[in-house]
Structure 1
């Protein structure tokens, strides 16, 4: 993995990283940006699409590339097993047409079993204009740019064109795709192009590949569209069906290459492997993208095949696009960092929804994870804005390191406990609206957690081995609103030393789904109301209205006021409700109440004394996971 271009090259970031490396897990930066910049693995996750693209090695396509003089073009009429050219620059030998001179060539007709080869040392553009061209080959590629200064495929307005290749290439073949290029290739125009890759890829460039416009449909045995150095889609209507990866850039030798950028257009991908796979960076900053990978979330992922929706080796930035992913493996995955800066993202996956080995950073946009094992996961997770709705069979948000697996459960628990103290694992929430429905822990942090703002509504499991909130080190709250409902055995609240107080309730009798719970202060004012999503044994609530040391009552069977998020409202009517529990707001931070995660809570309900609760598991001692 190449991290150098992703780390902010500023003295402040370098100093901050060094300082934190020598601190305990309680050290926490003061802003979302600083936390994301330190992040796991040193990635500056606050970078946007423009910054990432500027760090990569490509040049914008000149407007002059999208024009040509028809009068100066050479016309090549394809006639079954041969062709006729109207001018110089094309050598025709049976069904093989070799372009030897830079210029524009207009191809139309059918070439039943032949090939167009571009092989010239001239400077300038070789532009092949497809105008009703149907080219197939039983032995090699339909079109191969073997050598050219610049290469273009232009699709004539209103034309329909098709390319297909052999079902088996020789081991020493230069080409390996139906449309193959050994130099940077640009595809544009107002026509359509259908490409069938019968042996390997449909469209492939061993340099860079840019799609500007046109209606392009590809079907490939292996990868659909591949640009080794880069793949840029800046317009058009692109549909890909692939037995391997859908869209791919795979230069692993140069840190400024191997990237994919989708900036405009309509892109639809259905791939058996990864939907979109970038060796370095992946930027989706405009247009719409729909991806199905590995058969979708309902299909059990093949452990021997990577079938992620979107995958990057360094950095993924999602900014301003409309995107859906349905994947058997992770929906969005990066070996480095992910930044959701804006846009509308909907994910369904058989594994993780939004997974970064380093930092997962969400600053704005809408993220809907409708199905996942774990919803959002990273060694550092920072949320400063946006709307987030997570449905997960396991943890809703998970903060953990990708350390080497341990065989014994005891060793695992010890290793994770040590990791929580010494690692950079951090959750920081400073804003946004976050709604979580989980089958295990709602928020699981194997490290430090801090909430400074936002509105967070968590419904965790009723499984007594897990809780709506689960942290292994300090957990503080200084702003925002948090409501977490779940089991009682592992109920947890922010530390009593927090700047903002918390009140915690447990209930003698389980509250069924669709129960309205109203929390009322000692003056009779409803401070919160919530409609339970599933069976609930405990509720933890923190906001600026909770007063440390004050008494609060919980009533059922009232009504909820104007809903803010996920069944939660700031007020409710409890005039005909039933009192079910009473609790005390958390101690003031000036008090000497311990924030020990082993069992201290900021409030104790009537009917259940804190000392009578089951002993909490060792840090990290929940169900074994390889996440």
Structure 2
């Protein structure tokens, strides 16, 4: 009997947290529980007011007692001694013939020795459990799987403590006829397969996959090293990993599930372990859900972020919203990725298809080209990361979901050739530490909700992007559209807690809907080009709490909406200020409101703090030094000295616009919420 429950019943819960007014503004009553599969693009406005509660491994799968059992006794097992081209069987249930060993009955079989060019076959018709104890074996088959499980109720491979075991296959397989394509892995199972124990298993898959189960695949522990011509570890219905040390070098995907026809299957759930994955395609790829509760992960895909695809479109030429991409002059401008196109990767089952159209004066030719998917963590359904330490260097998105992403805890260190974190629906960050040191866009989703944690983003285009529209990548000489979102007006960036620091070449915070901020600390550095802004939104930016510091160019400068309940100021300097030049704001009694050192050149500064009061008098200084403690450019405590007074002013409205002469009028770029980008060229 299967030991997993329906994925749709435990999918990421969407819980209305009262973080913002978007629920009521959209006339939507959020249900207390909604599965991720029910979240459609038309409902994305409702999602903007919710948080994601992560699923856990225990929600998806349970482990039987026999999955963990590694003990065995000689008097209750069959001994199989491999001896080159033959084997000696001592006990019942197995026979050696023509260089291969066939097991036909349930029971425990202890294998040792070397099989030069043969196969261990499990063909148990009574559907019982077969346990294979690998007690120091070396099995090689030149034209098929080294271990082939044709039929059994369940097979458990135990890696005996202190032993080293290896299996390998040849570069070509010989099948009975042209209609047969199984087995297709060095270890291939058509039944549920569990691997346990504390020994070591090395798999060299020269033909196709390393370890494949056409049913459930569970790994309880051990040291497993896989080198594969295609995918490393594959479980059709599920891959569940309790623990272990797993190293994979795969031309295709590292770890994957493949069932795309049953919604309660095709998932990957990992509790713990150490993972070192180098994959030509995706690192860990789940057809439905991906749940990670802990572990340490080093993942490199597609040769790393240096192989990210060249992006074109909105690149600081005054284009503004991502929906405008592809309308530029074609000249590379700030924000354009300078990395070369990815090299040709081998074709694998995991492909993303793009269409290239070439037009001449007389004909139009359309050709189909396939590019490999090279994402770090990828799921067709929800991704839940509850803990763990991740170092991801990916040619494409580092974390990518076709549905929702919930990041609750852990550490993620990301270098990406495209997005750092991407969700077609909702990205929810409630804890942990996310450090994106390289990306095209840092965090992207139809909706984004940040309620906790520490998030740092460096991007060559937008830092945080909600409902981004069309991303355009140059692939095979023509454009490829990606990341298309619908109904951008209903989408929202919600910030209610945590710390967010953005270093962007494009827009810092970019919402093609609205922004709502009720808590947390947000620091934005950049852009330096006048065609982008530190803040960029279409609808409104309602701020009721938290601390906001945004420094960048002045050409497209925006501030929170004048309907916000918390005060903000927007200062435009007469000349560009050098990176590191302090901005200091204090009240009429000399109390520090904020001291900040932007990490990039800037001409516009937006500050919003709960300390800003109506009718209060304030003075803005530039330069000088601070003896306080600095984090991400923001100083706390200490004494500010040596600065130059720029302007003194009084707050008489929710948003105060300033230049060196004092209070002035709002920028002409204001939209319906008092700061939208509707006036962009």
**Bin of the TM-score, shorter chain as denominator length:** 0.7 to 0.9
Worse overlay, 37-46 or 105-114 = 37-46
Matches within 5 A, 1:21-60: 41=41, 46-50=52-56, 53-54=58-59, 56=60, 58-60=61-63
1:286 pairs with 2:290: no
Please give the per-residue CA displacement for 1:473-500, whole angstroms capped at 9, x wherever unaligned.
0111111111111111211111122111
Residues in 2 aligned to 1:160 and 1:417: alpha-carbon distance in whole angstroms: 50
Unaligned runs of 5+ in 2: 1-5, 310-341, 343-369, 473-483
Alpha carbons of structure 1 residues 524 and 47: separation in structure 2 relative to 1, 3 Å: closer
Is 1:61 equivalent to 2:64 in the alignment? yes
- Separation in 2, partners of 1:146, 1:355: 40
| TM-score, normalization by structure 1 | 0.87
Pick aligned residue for 2:548 from 454, 475, 482: 482
Q: SS state of the match for residue 273, structure 2?
A: strand
Q: Is the 8 A contact 1:379 1:400 kept in 2?
A: yes
C-alpha distance in structure 2 between counterparts of 1:213 and 1:177, whole Å: 21
Change (3 A) 1:53 1:254: farther
User: Could you tell me how far apart the structure 1 residues matched to 2:604 and 2:22 are?
Assistant: 35
- Residues 201-210 or 491-500, more deviating: 491-500
Superposed CA deviations along residues 366-421 of structure 1, whole A, max 9, x for unmatched, are 1111111111111110011111111111111100155799xxxxxxxxxx999443
Aligned to 2:187: 179
Asked whether 1:166 is paired with 2:233, we answer no
Q: Report the CA distance between 1:460 and its aligned residue.
A: 1.8
Q: Residue 330 in 1 paired to residue 334 in 2?
A: no
1:619, CA displacement in angstroms? 4.4
Once the two structures are superposed, residues 514-533 of structure 1 have per-residue CA deviations (whole angstroms, 9 ceiling, x without a partner) of: 11121122333221101120
Q: Which of residues 52, 63, 74 in structure 2 aligns to 1:70?
A: 74
1:224 aligned residue (221, 225, 232): 232
CA distance in 2, matches of 1:29, 1:567: 40
State the match for 1:192 in structure 2: 200
Question: By how many angstroms is 1:584 displaced?
Answer: 4.7
Shift of 1:46: 1.6
What per-residue deviation string (whole Å, max 9, x for no partner) do you get for residues 537-593 of structure 1?
0111111111234343221222235336311125564442111244554614xxxxx
Residues 316 and 37 of structure 1, relative CA distance in 2, 3 Å threshold: same
Where in structure 2 are the equivalents of 1:94-109 lying within 5 Å?
A: 94-109=98-113
Task: Find the aligned partners of 2:517 and 2:572 in 1 and give their Cα distance.
Answer: 22
Distance, in Å, in 1 between the alignment partners of 2:206 and 2:172 is 8
Match of 1:349 among 407, 416, 422: 416
Query: What CA distance in whole angstroms lies between the structure 1 residues aligned with 2:194 and 2:241?
Result: 10
Q: Aligned to 1:91, which of 92, 95, 99?
A: 95
Query: Using a 3 Å threshold, how does the CA distance of structure 1 residues 268 and 444 change in structure 2: closer, same or farther?
Result: same
Change (3 A) 1:106 1:325: same
Asked whether the 8 Å contact 1:40–1:359 carries over to 2, the reply is: no
Counterpart residue number, 1:251: 259
Q: Distance in 1 between matches of 2:373 and 2:678?
A: 28
- 1:365 corresponds to: 432
Q: Secondary structure of 1:361's match?
A: strand
Q: Secondary structure of the equivalent of 2:244?
A: strand
* C-alpha distance in structure 1 between counterparts of 2:494 and 2:571, whole Å: 25
Spell out the pairing of 1:535-574 with structure 2 (5 A cutoff).
535-563=601-629, 565-570=631-636, 573-574=639-640
Q: What do residues 131-170 of structure 1 show as CA deviations (whole Å, max 9, x unaligned)?
A: 1110111111000111011101111111111111121234
* Secondary structure of residue in 2 paired with 1:46: strand
Aligned residues: 588
TM-score normalised according to structure 2 size = 0.80
Instruction: Name 1:410's counterpart in structure 2.
Output: none
- Of 444, 451, 472, the residue aligned with 1:377 is 444
Stretch of structure 1 that moved more, 540-549 or 60-69 = 60-69
Q: Which residue of 2 aligns with 1:521?
A: 587
Partner of 2:336 in structure 1? none
Distance 2:7 2:678 in 1: 29
Q: Distance in 2 between matches of 1:586 and 1:6?
A: 51
CA distance in 2, matches of 1:462, 1:32: 43
Change (3 A) 1:611 1:48: closer
Q: Is the 8 A contact 2:656 2:663 kept in 1?
A: no
SS in 1 for 2:75: helix
1:457 and 2:523 matched: yes
- Give the aligned partner of residue 461 of structure 2: 394
- Residue 85 of structure 2: aligned partner: 81
Structure 1 residue 5, shift from structure 2 partner: 4.3
Matched, 1:469 2:475: no
